[in-house]
Amino acid sequence: MSKLILLEGNQRMIIETIDYRKGMVRIIDQTLLPGEEIFLNLCTLDEVAEAICSLRVRGAPAIGIAASYGMLLNLDKMLQAESAENPEYIFDREEGMNSFSFPGISIEKIRNCLLEAKKRLETTRPTAVNLFWALNRIFSVLDGEEKDPGRLCELIAREAFNIYTEEVETEIKIGKNGARYIKDGMNILTHCNAGGLATAGYGTALAVLYTAKKEGKEFSVYADETRPLLQGARLTSWELERSGIKVSVLCDNAAASLFAAGKIDIVIAGADRIAANGDVANKIGTLGLAILCKAYRKPLYIAAPLSTFDMNIESGDDIHVEQRSGDEIAYLGGRRVVPENVNIYNPAFDITPAEHISSIITERGVIENPRREQIASFIRR
């Protein structure tokens, strides 16, 4: 069964990457794609944390949504335990908050419950700032005027659901703002997966391609396989193929030969964190493509929501790059391919200096030649 559903009279595609239904966080398990389309109902904070760590749910915006839903889930469980009515769930994205009585609930209990979830989720993945941005957004609801515990819980739920719905709108705007860079007949290279699976369902880099396709443009996409976890081979090609966009998958180390053969017109990718000076953390291998773009005089576009900017980080040097288990490289298809006792280098991301980036496409517009001053004034707008 296809997981693409259509919005606005067949105009827009959205993938059911993540949702909050009846006291559970529902995700499509991305580790099983494309072979199996399995949806998981995550019922505890630990299950959400595990899903983020293991990349069952992944991609900066989707991680942010998962984190906010993880906090809500912890609150849901606590309120269930506090209610004499034994409810099966308290929150649902469509129904909102169900009205049960919670006689023993206090602001202090709510704060402790959210703090527990925040601390747990902060340890899952360090690089995508969207995770921390979403956790802080939920937690800061506690700093508002509301002093009634029941109404405060309702506001927390509303904030979590807003993070999700705002993200969908953001992605549609990113698509519209970036589509002008896509011309008929172009060959476009993308890396990792910055599509619907990495977001609330529409994508950042791939939203640009979906919008261009909707505008009637014809183009071809090359998707790097993206070792070691193959987000390009497994996920990007899965999405693009379903949306009728021509896609070819290549080994990461074939990219240079494509540039040399004159077969790449532009590169477009997403981001996990953008420093105040415009340096971009994205999936390992993005820096190599940036250097190829420079060598072959091709533009590199980064598509990302404003929530991916971290104005507290001066430059890419200060971005914490996640190092992942060597087993991701040591094993291929369940078989060991690296001898025992050999060291393995497995950073999940690299940093592309701002000088290599032609433009950053956001929901608010495009930052051409991103540098510290342009970014600061753009963010202030």
Contact set with ligand MRU (CB under 6 A): 55, 58-61, 128, 192, 194, 198-199, 204, 231, 269-272, 282-283, 348
| Shortest CB 328 distance to ligand MRU, Å | 10
The residue among 61 and 175 lying less far from ligand MRU, judged by its C-beta, is 61
The residue among 116 and 328 lying less far from ligand MRU, judged by its C-beta, is 328
| Shortest CB 261 distance to ligand MRU, Å | 25
The residue annotated as part of the active site, out of 19, 92, 252, 272, is 272
Helix and strand counts by DSSP (H, E) for the chain: 11, 20
CA distance linking residue 290 with residue 279, whole number of Å: 12
| Shortest CB 379 distance to ligand MRU, Å | 19
Nearest to residue 261, comparing CAs of 250, 270, 272? 250
**DSSP secondary-structure letter at 211?**
H
Residue nearest ligand MRU (C-beta atom): 270
**DSSP secondary-structure letter at 322?**
P
Nearest to residue 299, comparing CAs of 358, 254, 367, 243? 358
Query: Does residue 148 carry a catalytic annotation?
Result: no
| Shortest CB 190 distance to ligand MRU, Å | 9
266 has which bridge partners? Answer: 188
Q: How far is CA 251 from CA 192, 241, 285, 329, in A?
A: 12, 18, 11, 15
The residue among 102 and 308 lying less far from ligand MRU, judged by its C-beta, is 308
The residue among 199 and 277 lying less far from ligand MRU, judged by its C-beta, is 199
Long-range Cβ pairs for the range 87-91 (8 Å, 24+): 88/22, 88/23, 89/22, 89/23, 89/24, 90/23, 90/153, 91/20, 91/23, 91/157, 91/160
The residue among 69 and 91 lying less far from ligand MRU, judged by its C-beta, is 69
| Shortest CB 181 distance to ligand MRU, Å | 17
**Could you tell me how far CA 62 lies from the centroid of its own chain?**
4
Q: Which residues are catalytic?
A: 272
